[in-house]
Amino acid sequence: MNNRDYIKNSRVLLLGSTGFIGSHILEELINRLAIIVLPVRNISSLPEKILRFTNHKSVTFIDYDAFIKDPLNFDCDFIINALGYGLEPTNRNFLEMFYINSFLPVLLMDKLQDNSTCMVHLGSGSEYLSSNGNKPYIEEDKKTDKGLYALSKKFSSEYLKEVASNISMPIVSIRLFNVFGPGEKQHRLFPSIYSKLSKNEEVNLSDGNQICDFLFIKDAVNAILHVANVCKRKNLIDEVNICSGEGISVKDFAENVAKKMNVDCNLLKFGKIPRRDTDNEMFVGNADKLLRVYGWKKKYNINSGIDKYIEHLIK
């Protein structure tokens, strides 16, 4: 079997490096000795987690707007598109959502039609049709017909796959579910719970009966790069869920966090706020293809992921 690591010493264009998942991908690419190019608009306004790499020998910053106008000047082995707009409560500019989630990936694909380049496009499990009979989503399941964020991600995933088929360019569209870990935005489930509980304050939550698929960030990033490596090696055009494949209720997840913090679970006030309109009764991915085709298994379970996260926050 060819176990060559195509990431090592490769040239990687990474879009979305300032985001939660993108910043972790950047760190792992550096660990894997990749040569990384980051298109950015204003270096001085970058967050510290990215700014600290400005003098790193493996990282090159280029002007984002100049790159978008003429991406052909950059020859790369991988394009990893970790851009995304629409998950934060303040992300309500719908034109910006379409531009970032749909137009930019399409623009890159059209201008970089080179079958030596492998494109890794980070999509979302929300691309699936919500009414799935409470079964884990498999890659062949029907896709959604509503929800602006989900539609914008669905459009780019389907378009990129279609173009790649016509030009024999390896590409994998990845559908992520509930990734958690250090660097999440404060409004997300874990940080919002931890912030309140660490001050012995009550946490207002929904009923918590939604079944979700939580995957620790280190596993998610490892899976993304593992899939990219296999896609490059086998010259694949594919779509794959990156998920734990296991469901746990939001209530059980929150109570696990409280117990790990040695805090009274009664501070978790379930049913105090309504669910979000986008919440599904069950939002769990099927990870069979990830194991069967790509040979990848997660390292962290819910408990070890929460332990690692809390350890990071304490430090």
Burial class from Cβ neighbours inside 10 Å (0-12, 13-18, 19+) for residue 253 reads buried
In-domain check, residue 140: yes
pLDDT at 73: 63
Q: Is residue 305 part of a domain?
A: no
Nearest residue to 157 via CA among 131, 116, 127: 127
Residue 172 lies in a domain: yes
Query: Cα dist. 133→194, 221, 289 in Å?
Result: 33, 29, 20
* CA gap 5, 35 in Å, rounded: 14
Residue at 57 is within a domain: yes
Q: How many CB atoms lie within 10 A of CB 114?
A: 13
* Structure tokens that stand for 4 in this block: 């060559």
What per-residue confidence (pLDDT) applies to 41? 86
Residue 202, domain member (yes or no):
no
Residue 222 confidence (pLDDT): 97
- Residue closest to 230 by CA, chosen among 118, 75, 76: 118
Q: How many structural domains compose the chain?
A: 1
Q: What is the CATH number of the domain that holds 65?
A: 3.40.50.720
* Assigned domain for 261 exists: no
pTM confidence score: 0.95
282-283 β-sheet, strand order: 248-249, 211-212, 282-283
Tell me: the pLDDT tens digits for 143-189?
Answer: 998 899 999 999 999 999 998 888 888 999 999 999 999 999 999 99
Tokens representing 97? 């959502």
What pLDDT shows up at residue 74?
67
Confidence at residue 45, expressed as pLDDT on a 0 to 100 scale = 87
**Does some domain include residue 102?**
yes
- 192 located within any domain: no
Which segments of the chain have a pLDDT < 70? Answer: 1-2, 71-74, 113-115, 132
Local structure of 176: helix, strand or coil: strand
| Residue range(s) defining the domain that contains residue 15 | 11-180+215-244+284-299
pLDDT at position 114: 63
